[in-house]
A and B are shown apart, each in its own frame.
Chain A
Amino acid sequence: MAWKFDKPLYTLATDDQNEQAKYVWEHESLGGIMEDNNRLPQAVVWLLVLTIITAFLITAPLWGQRPMAAIYEEYIALMDSPEVAKLPDDEAKMEYIVNTVKSQGSKWAGHQDRHPLTMNDLRLIKDQIIELQRENAHMDYYTVVGKDVALANFEGEIGDDGVKIRVQPSWDLGYTIDVFYVLYFCIAVMIVVKRLPPSDWQPDHSIGH
């Protein structure tokens, strides 16, 4: 099985192999079915590239992340303050809390933007969050689901303090495996396809049919 490497993106087969493949292709009838040798249309190539990029982007944790208890700690610390208490209604109170936390520069600013809530929501989760703070729990290991603050269902490695990490990773072994997997797939398919006669040749179907 000879190989030719001088123009790898054009063909990986020798001239003899290509000629033989062309002969069989044109002279053989596969149950009356014919095949052309077209390359993938360029638009479809871009669609495939877009698909691969999307596969990584759409599965990135950012988009699927549920609100963590940690992102509401600053809200809860403020909600019973005199400044908030003197405001006339819940809407104004919430607006004040959000703006104050934002102006102080929270490390959870992005999460807070994506997961807004009302004063009533805050009241429902307040006691649960304070209880967790008393226990020195990892607040980012807990998610807020409706009126409940529950341990997240992520199951990571065991952390330095002996507690299982329950934060959605931004990058993990799965993505690394995926990168190599996709890479090997692309290389393997390129090899398979480049062993065929080059796509600038099209079979003459009038010979075998």
Chain B
Amino acid sequence: MFKYLFAKNEDIPAGSAAVFFGFSSIIWFIIGTGLGSFNAAKLAFPDFVTGSYMFAFGHMRQVHVMAVIFGWISMAFAMAFMYITPALGNTKLWSEKLGIWTCFNWNGGLAVALCLMWAGVTSGREYTDFPWPIDLIILFAVLLPLGINVWMTIVHRKTQGIYTTNWFFGAAIFMLMIVVLVGNLPEYFSLTGLTEAYLTWWHAHNILGLWITPVAAAIAYYTVPKITGNPLYSHRIGHLHFWSVVVFYSTPAAHHLMSSPLPEWLKSFASVEGVLILVPAIAFVSNLLLTMTGKWHYFVDNIEIRFTITGVMLAIPLNMQGGFQQTRAINWYVHGTGWIVAHAHLALLGFSTFLEAAAVYYGLQTILRRKIYSLALANFHFWFLLIGFATYWISITIAGLIQGAAKIYEVPYIDVVIAEHPYMIARWVGGTMVFTGNVVWLYNMWMTARAGTPVPVGRLPHEIAYER
């Protein structure tokens, strides 16, 4: 990477920024899930690593969350931007050099920010844990250059139309910048109380709603038609999906604070909009599954499609949960329990991770022109990720329901701890499986780069997956 930082843009091979982002994302995924596994071990075995302030759960937990969101997920997105955006415009990335600088700044900045947070330098506000100077650095040194590169690539496209994926890409970066700017207002201006709570959760909700969800979905809009060779089922449903994300995802935030003294009308408004999150979900899932018509064998044969369609199908329980758990009737029971933690992992480790993993698998093979080193290891990764995630999700959902019941019936806390102990162990086992799968993934992709079979000119990696 360093040799390209000061090279001329023309001298940097096309796709370099995407490759650096791709490998960075996998490494951050390992770090993030490693921290997650460590934290889960602390919940399962309370005597595990005690006596050190630095390794207390309260210090470690948000480092895991931010490493996964801004390391793994967002860098996988950046990789997708760097190779999918130009591909859809039949052009090159506007500036490989800017992409590489963005990758450099991002990795360095995130490492510094996470170390500071680990040491206790934090705003203390969930999902905006970084202190405000770091938020501004993220905004101007990472998101703005990323946005400029994507927007300029779209502007300089060699097509008249703009494909659905690029609407989402271009809009999501803009929306994320607004979310980061507005969501951190309480820090810039020392806003407190309800205003702080509302803006904090507006930010947290929209990191998911206007960044992770639309970009992950946009990746699926690319991988499924590209790999199956089927046309996207409906351009029109793409419009419905895009605009319903913008309209219905941006508005709920009060639904995270249903028991707070916010105005009731605001909660009613947010709660209805919260259920309407199902509108983009239905549009997205139906469009992608109908695109698979006649090509369902790819779900078995092809690793990228298997990842993608698993992610698409996980969007169904994700949005059913998300839509209904925030209503007054259900929220009073599950609020503040492990149910919500399980839901967050369904969103980030289930739905979105599977879609991003597909993008990284496909992107690295396509750009490096190398067939995947080992399909067996890729399958191992898929199953460890899926079984590990499912174990985690199911166990914490059950633990959450136990906590909910205990909350209502005022069961002594220590009895709840004992009741949920087996589920905490299952959580650790599931999380550790995910971590193990990711270590194997990094090895597989590293070996793909070094020793993968070259893909002949005119062919695509997935076409020769089973050829020796």
Please give the residue numbers on chain A whose beta carbons come within 8 Å of chain B beta carbons, in ascending order: 24-25, 28-41, 44, 47-48, 51-52, 54-56, 58-59, 61, 63-66, 146-147, 153-156, 168-169, 172-175, 177-178, 181-182, 185, 188-189, 192-193, 196, 199, 203, 205
On whether A181 and B247 interact (CB within 8 A), knowing A47-B282, A58-B324, A66-B332, the answer reads: yes
Tell me the bound Cα distance from A205 to B240 in angstroms: 23
Tell me the bound Cα distance from A26 to B409 in angstroms: 63
- 18 of the cross-chain contacts (CB-CB < 8 Å) are A28-B159, A30-B90, A30-B161, A31-B163, A33-B225, A35-B235, A38-B290, A40-B240, A47-B282, A48-B283, A52-B279, A55-B272, A59-B275, A64-B330, A65-B328, A178-B272, A178-B273, A193-B240
Known contacts A34-B230, A185-B244; can you find 11 more A-B pairs with CB under 8 A? A31-B163, A35-B164, A35-B238, A39-B236, A40-B286, A41-B290, A55-B278, A63-B328, A173-B268, A174-B264, A192-B239
In the bound complex, do residue A31 and residue B279 qualify as a contact, i.e. CB atoms below 8 Å apart? Answer: no
Instruction: Choose one: B237, B276, B332, B409; the contact of A146 (CB below 8 Å).
Output: B409
Interface bracket on B: 35 or more
Instruction: Say yes or no for B266: interface residue by CB 8 A criterion.
Output: yes
Instruction: Choose one: B239, B260, B408; the contact of A193 (CB below 8 Å).
Output: B239
CB distance from B143 to the nearest CB of A (A): 24
On whether A35 and B270 interact (CB within 8 A), knowing A66-B332, A146-B409, the answer reads: no
* CB closest residue in chain B, given A169: B264
In the bound complex, do residue B88 and residue A172 qualify as a contact, i.e. CB atoms below 8 Å apart? Answer: no
B260 cross-chain contacts in A, Cβ below 8 A: 153
B266 cross-chain contacts in A, Cβ below 8 A: 174
Instruction: Say yes or no for B232: interface residue by CB 8 A criterion.
Output: yes
Instruction: Choose one: A37, A51, A192, A203; the contact of B275 (CB below 8 Å).
Output: A51
In the bound complex, do residue B286 and residue A41 qualify as a contact, i.e. CB atoms below 8 Å apart? Answer: yes
Tell me the bound Cα distance from A39 to B278 in angstroms: 19
Interface residues of B, dominant DSSP: helix
Tell me the bound Cα distance from A177 to B254 in angstroms: 15
Nearest first, the 4 closest Cβ-Cβ pairs linking A and B are: A64-B328, A174-B268, A174-B269, A55-B275
Instruction: Choose one: B161, B230, B286; the contact of A28 (CB below 8 Å).
Output: B161
On whether A31 and B90 interact (CB within 8 A), knowing A40-B234, A51-B282, A55-B272, the answer reads: yes
Instruction: Say yes or no for B127: interface residue by CB 8 A criterion.
Output: no
Instruction: Say yes or no for B259: interface residue by CB 8 A criterion.
Output: yes
* CB closest residue in chain B, given A62: B329
Instruction: Say yes or no for B226: interface residue by CB 8 A criterion.
Output: yes
B409 cross-chain contacts in A, Cβ below 8 A: 146
Please give the residue numbers on chain B whose beta carbons come within 8 Å of chain A beta carbons, in ascending order: 84, 87-90, 159-161, 163-164, 222, 225-226, 230-240, 243-244, 247-248, 251, 259-276, 278-279, 282-283, 286, 290, 323-324, 327-332, 408-410
A56 cross-chain contacts in B, Cβ below 8 A: 272
Instruction: Choose one: B233, B271, B276, B286; the contact of A51 (CB below 8 Å).
Output: B276
In the bound complex, do residue B276 and residue A52 qualify as a contact, i.e. CB atoms below 8 Å apart? Answer: yes
A30 cross-chain contacts in B, Cβ below 8 A: 88-90, 159, 161, 163
In the bound complex, do residue A146 and residue B275 qualify as a contact, i.e. CB atoms below 8 Å apart? Answer: no
A32 cross-chain contacts in B, Cβ below 8 A: 87, 226
A156 cross-chain contacts in B, Cβ below 8 A: 264
B243 cross-chain contacts in A, Cβ below 8 A: 185, 188-189, 192
In the bound complex, do residue B231 and residue A205 qualify as a contact, i.e. CB atoms below 8 Å apart? Answer: yes
Tell me the bound Cα distance from A120 to B261 in angstroms: 31
In the bound complex, do residue A33 and residue B163 qualify as a contact, i.e. CB atoms below 8 Å apart? Answer: yes
CB distance from A117 to the nearest CB of B (A): 13
Instruction: Choose one: A31, A33, A39, A188; the contact of B234 (CB below 8 Å).
Output: A39
Instruction: Choose one: B225, B247, B290; the contact of A185 (CB below 8 Å).
Output: B247
* CB closest residue in chain B, given A34: B231
In the bound complex, do residue A44 and residue B272 qualify as a contact, i.e. CB atoms below 8 Å apart? Answer: no
In the bound complex, do residue A189 and residue B163 qualify as a contact, i.e. CB atoms below 8 Å apart? Answer: no
In the bound complex, do residue B276 and residue A36 qualify as a contact, i.e. CB atoms below 8 Å apart? Answer: no
